[in-house]
Amino acid sequence: MNKKDPLFISTMDKAKKLDPEKFNIYMTIQDYVLQHCDDDLKANVMLSHAIDELKEHNISPSNLKTYYRHLEKDFPIKREMKEELQRSLNNMSVSLIWCTMSSFIVLMFIKEVVMQHYLIHLYVDSAIAIVAFYIMLHQIHIQLNILNMNKMTKRPLIVMLVAIIAGVIVNIVAGLSNNGLAKFDFSFLILVVGMLTSRSIFMKQAQK
């Protein structure tokens, strides 16, 4: 995670909805929490509770050390941290699956174009490929948002993009070949390997 900016986008957006007076109080709490908490996820969960309390009550902690302990002990922080990580992992896993399947459809169409041999018809296959391409881009955007929200590096997304590009190259080469290579489709295997590798990298980053 990026230690230069430990705040999640969701936390920042939530804080911006406070009125100016409460926002100033929140900023004081935020500075203290970030100075005394080394775990980015824990800090964001605690700050989320602080924002909720500011919304519901007119609080102005005079002793930040005591208020920090209140946030740490009076809320199920550890359970919420596990739930948040699991939620992000589930969302990332689902997005990777959708990205893999939609990318494969696009790669199949590219191979069809190179070979001039279509599954149904050029126009029908083109329409399906366009929809699949849109889904692929949408899933890439979702993955980027998940990584940004959790302040993780872009490595999982980069791996998936490399797998897609590699699949494009393999299908073009296979489509242009005159031997039996065109009968085999290795692009799906490449995409699956990319998906599993991306998920593994995401899990390792989430556990840091």
pLDDT tens column, 165-182: 999 999 888 877 766 666
> Any idea which of 3-17, 62-76, 152-166 has the lowest mean pLDDT?
3-17
**pLDDT tens figures, 117-147:** 888 888 899 999 999 999 999 999 999 988 8
Average pLDDT on 84-94 reads: 90
Q: Cα 80 from chain centroid? A: 18
Instruction: Write down the pTM of the prediction.
Output: 0.73
pLDDT at 40: 80
List, as one string, the DSSP characters of 21-48: HHHHHHHHHHHHHHHH---HHHHHHHHH
Angle at 59 (CA atoms; ends 56, 62), nearest 5 degrees: 160
Give the residue carrying structure tokens 């990332």.
Answer: 92
